[in-house]
Amino acid sequence: MKNILLLAFFWFLLSQSNAQNYSSQSKKAIKLYESALSEINNGNLENALVFTQKAIFQDPAFIEVYLLEAEIFHTQKKYENEIEAFQKVIDINRAFFPKIFLFLAELQLNMGKYNEAEKNINEFLTFEQKNQNLLEKALFLKKKAEFGNKQIQNPVDFKPVHLGKNVNTEFNDYWPSLTVDETQLFTTVKLHDKESVSSFKEDIYVSYNESVFYSDTLQTQWTKAKPLPPPFTTLGNEGACSISADGRILFFTRCTCADGLEKCCDIYYSVKQLNTWSEARKVPGLLNSEAWDAQPSISSTGTELYFASARKGGFGGQDIWVSKLNLETGLWQIPENLGDSINTKGNEMSPFIHPDNQTLYFASDNWLGMGKLDLFLSRKNENGKWTTPLNLGFPINTHKDDIGLITNSRGNLAYFASNRLNSDLDIFTFLLPEKIKPIPVKYIKGRVIDAKTKKTLQAKFSFIDPEKNQLLITSYSDAFTGEFFISLPVNKDYLLTVQRDKYLFYSSNFILKTEIDKMKPHILTVELQPIQIGESIILKNIFFQTASFELLEKSNYELNKLFQFLTENETITKIEIAGHTDNEGTKTYNIELSENRAKAVYNYLINKGIAKERLTYKGYGFDVPISENTTPEGKALNRRTEFKILNIKQL
């Protein structure tokens, strides 16, 4: 350490030195004190302490020496010694430097000594306050002390479990990231490496879950964590990552210069193709800035990227921002600050957006908390606004470093990093108390193939909110495997459409609100039918009033999708819209009902602008079942609307 220490009292002490206005009259003590200052200038803290002790021996009431020792002890993280030095000053002359009570209180808050901190804040407030900023700070620290005491008296249910030596290394382990299916856990490991661009080296490690799938036990069997291969291991620092819901894209922070804190940290990404990660690149578009950008958290839809940044235009030192993906260009747009409902004049960081896309966990040093950084959550309301952050409570939050909290998709387990056991950060897990749980999420894994050849296809898939007729998610299946992977909150129902040029579109739905096993994943194979005469599909997202041919409003998305399909494929000159029923009621009744339902779809398309010459309709009643009519499930499958290609214009 070869630079002058820019600590709390240094400039005060330096000004005292220049003015030759010391509390001591002993020339020997003053000379020894100035020698200690010189040693600090040269980075020799232990030598400086030798001189301060000699100065105290010459004059035990030399206040500036104790202040200087407090500075040294603070740098050495010897906080108990720092408190003793402060107390010596107060015992000699409590009015010499009134701010000392404020510094002492802040130190005690960060050590969890809330009663002592409150006492010293009250002492500070006995002095006449001419500095409004200091007064505001004192009142804020007083609130934190009172809050800390109250939290300790009302602890939340919290039993953290250390993840063991397989996940945690001999170094600092932090910034966990978990795949939606809970099979992979990524962490950041801070190693000592002389060849790196700084005095330490950060790399991304991964461990695999060998436990029973979706077990609720905290005793998960993780494999030995190993570093990810290039591009995640360079001479720079890579860490603070976030894995996409399908496990294919890893967003992470890369810092390429020695300080790692100012202008050299940006957000990168790499794509997994089969078993190989692509070259790491900065995320395309306008997300990164010239300032510090780090700690990404990708939404489960893959269309929103939350991160921490020290860029201009925020509310404080570090704020939380979000950038949205332009699906047409593949570029990330200019980030938006989450606003003063999340960000303060202090520091907000380590955002984690749960797969429900409504619950945000983050850390802050300026919302009311237990010490420095505390963990909070905020929920997005129906208007898209973030609610006032809720402190996760004691002992989840302590005066120790508790950072980087994430949760699993089911919303019952959390993972975070803490140094509560020793000086190093390790990864812990715990069961989330009910009050701070997100909305549970289940995942849907699909694979798109050609119905004839069975070859995998890349196709566009979309999930829709049927109640609001609103598009929620749209993306593409993997070009190599044909797979797509999405997580959905279980508090609503969803429609699914899958489409690709030269194929009929596919539709399905997921009724999650009333599903009994909400956590069991849906695994499906989507077979797309080529556009050929005689091919047909079931329109699974067309709904009618019970025993009626009145279309329900939630059918509109599917009807408009059919309209779009016919508009874009004008070579299809004739289709049949077919109505089918179960076997409840007479044959005549069901023929009439099914025909009227088919006609309702026919009329909708004509009203939208499809030429009637391209359409025909027919009701088949229960004559063409696709399942047994002996169970409610079978009957539901038989009640359906289809369309069939009758003619294609040859070009």
Question: Is 228 a residue whose pLDDT tops 50?
Answer: yes
Distances (CA, A) of 143 to 105, 136, 334, 367, 402: 12, 11, 37, 11, 21
Query: Of 459, 457, 466, which is closest to residue 488 (Cα–Cα)?
Result: 466
More confident residue, 103 or 402: 103
Angle ∠(16,21,25) on CA atoms, nearest 5: 125
CATH 2.120.10.30 boundaries in the chain:
161-436
Question: d(Cα 176, Cα 240) in Å, to the nearest integer?
Answer: 8
Question: d(Cα 87, Cα 171) in Å, to the nearest integer?
Answer: 35
Question: Is 212 a residue whose pLDDT tops 70?
Answer: no
Q: Given the structure tokens 């200690």, which residue do they identify?
A: 36
Read off φ and ψ for residue 121, nearest 5 degrees.
Answer: -65, -45
Query: Of 302, 173, 326, which is closest to residue 248 (Cα–Cα)?
Result: 302
According to DSSP, the β-strands at 281-282 and 276-277 are unpaired
Question: Is 7 a residue whose pLDDT tops 70?
Answer: no
| AA letter at 579 | G
Query: What's the whole-number mean pLDDT along residues 75-98?
Result: 92
User: 597 pLDDT band (50/70/90 cuts)?
Assistant: very high
Cβ 488 vs Cβ 441: under 8 Å: yes
Look at domain 538-651 and name its CATH class.
alpha beta
User: Taking all residues of the chain, what is their mean pLDDT, rounded to a whole number?
Assistant: 89
Question: d(Cα 94, Cα 515) in Å, to the nearest integer?
Answer: 68
Task: Give me the torsion for CA of 392, 219, 250, 322, rounded to 10°.
Answer: -10
Q: Where are the alpha helices (DSSP H) in 454-586?
A: 556-568
Quote the DSSP letter at residue 285. Answer: B
Question: Is 50 a residue whose pLDDT tops 70?
Answer: yes
User: 6 pLDDT band (50/70/90 cuts)?
Assistant: very low
Q: Structure pTM?
A: 0.81
pLDDT of 2:
31
Tokens found for residue 313: 């235009």
Question: Is 435 a residue whose pLDDT tops 90?
Answer: yes
Q: Given the structure tokens 């780090």, which residue do they identify?
A: 294
Neighbours of 14 (CB within 10 A): 12
With a CB cutoff of 8 Å and minimum separation 6, the contacts of 81 are 69, 73
More confident residue, 595 or 10: 595
CATH of domain 161-436: 2.120.10.30
Which superfamily does 10-153 belong to? Tetratricopeptide repeat domain (1.25.40.10)
Provide the sign of the torsion angle of the four alpha carbons 257, 263, 265, 266, taken in this order: negative
Q: Percent of the chain having pLDDT more than 70?
A: 93
pLDDT of 130:
77
Cβ 36 vs Cβ 52: under 8 Å: yes
Question: Is 169 a residue whose pLDDT tops 80?
Answer: yes
| pLDDT tens-digit series, residues 348-381 | 999 999 999 999 999 999 999 987 889 999 999 8
List, in sequence order, every residue forming a beta bridge with 270; answer none if it has no partner: 250
pLDDT of 256:
80
CATH 3.30.1330.60 boundaries in the chain:
538-651
Question: Is 8 a residue whose pLDDT tops 60?
Answer: no
Question: Is 171 a residue whose pLDDT tops 70?
Answer: yes
Look at domain 440-530 and name its CATH class.
mainly beta
Tokens found for residue 64: 């500036």
Question: Picking from 74-78, 116-120, 548-552, 584-588, which range would have the lowest pLDDT averaged per residue?
Answer: 74-78
